[in-house]
Amino acid sequence: ASGAASPRRVLLKLSGEVFGGGKVGVDPEVVRGIARQIADAVREGIEVAVVVGGGNFFRGAELQQKGMDRSRADYIGMLGTVMNCLALQDFLEKEGIDTRVQTAITMGQVAEPYIPRRAIRHLEKGRVVIFGAGAGMPYFSTDTVSAQRALECRCDMVLMSKSGVDGVYDADPRTDPDARKLEHVTFEEALRTGLKVVDAAAFSLCMDNKLPMVVFGMEGDGNITRALRGERIGTLVSA
């Protein structure tokens, strides 16, 4: 369509931890609330892709500390993310939003395999695409996968939702009372100062490919919808 601006397309990273409401497993009321917020944005015409973490079930690094082989532990972690994806899909569909789950580890009964061009097609049709099983590779994180999927599916930006913190700070706000929240930070600064809110691989992938990132707190009324719309919340991380 000549002249018509293309709709906003964003990738939202949801950490698994929030899905459990602080416990192991899925808290349906939490997921329902998240789905409602995503649905509000989708109804406004915003194209939304989602990467879901799995920290509410298993983290590979933690299982490794307890004596498991790292790679196998990471596969367990990846499988955990898929359960969160299905829960989110369920509540999005209850909101009347068409949704597809695509996983990096093939499991045809519950999800499509990850096929980038098909994912883009779904987004163009207004479907929410939920990416599960991370990258399908041990030693990766869902933060890094978020940057990769956003790049491959041509999203305008990555929105990293965080729980318990509302943006990027110049020091750890949990331990340093003088820590200040930053409105804007460059990828270089974020990497140089070793800010841990998002992992370094995700920062550097975005930096190398000039993909802006917003780090924001998911708590608070409608914060996810606001971030999806492009309102200025949290911290903008860019070149």
Q: Is 15 annotated as a binding residue?
A: yes
60 contacts ligand UDP (rule: CB under 6 A)? yes
Give the x/- contact pattern for ligand UDP in 182-211, rule: CB under 6 A: ------------------------------
Which one of 9, 55, 197, 235 is in contact with ligand UDP (CB under 6 A)? 55
201 labelled ligand-binding: no
What are the backbone angles phi and psi of residue 45, rounded to the nearest 5°? Answer: 95, 10
What are 204's two structure tokens? 């550097």
Any alpha helices (H) in the chain, and if so which ranges? 16-19, 28-43, 60-65, 70-94, 116-124, 142-152, 187-192, 200-208, 223-229
13 is in an annotated binding site: yes
Window 9-28: residues binding ligand UDP (CB under 6 A) = 15-17
Q: In this complex, which beta carbon is closest to ligand UDP, that of residue 54 or of residue 167? A: 54
Q: Which of residues 77-106 bind ligand UDP (CB under 6 A)?
A: 77-78, 80-81
Nearest to 84 by CA among 132, 150, 156, 13: 132
State yes or no: residue 173 binds ligand UDP (CB under 6 A): no
CA distance 85 to 54: 9
Helix, strand or coil, per DSSP, at residue 208: helix
How far is it, in rounded angstroms, from Cα 89 to Cα 82? Answer: 10
Taking CB under 6 A as the rule, does residue 137 contact ligand UDP? yes
Cβ atoms of residues 115 and 102 within 8 Å: yes
Q: Which stretch binds ligand UDP (CB under 6 A): 70-78, 175-183, 187-195, 200-208?
A: 70-78
Please, what's the b/e burial string for 191-201 (b: 16 or more CB within 10 A of its CB; e: otherwise)?
A: eeeebebbebb
Listed ranges 51-59, 151-159, 180-188, 202-210: which one lies at the site for ligand UDP (CB under 6 A): 51-59
Q: Give me the residues that bind ligand UDP (CB under 6 A), please.
A: 15-17, 53-55, 59-61, 74, 77-78, 80-81, 134-135, 137-138, 140-142, 145
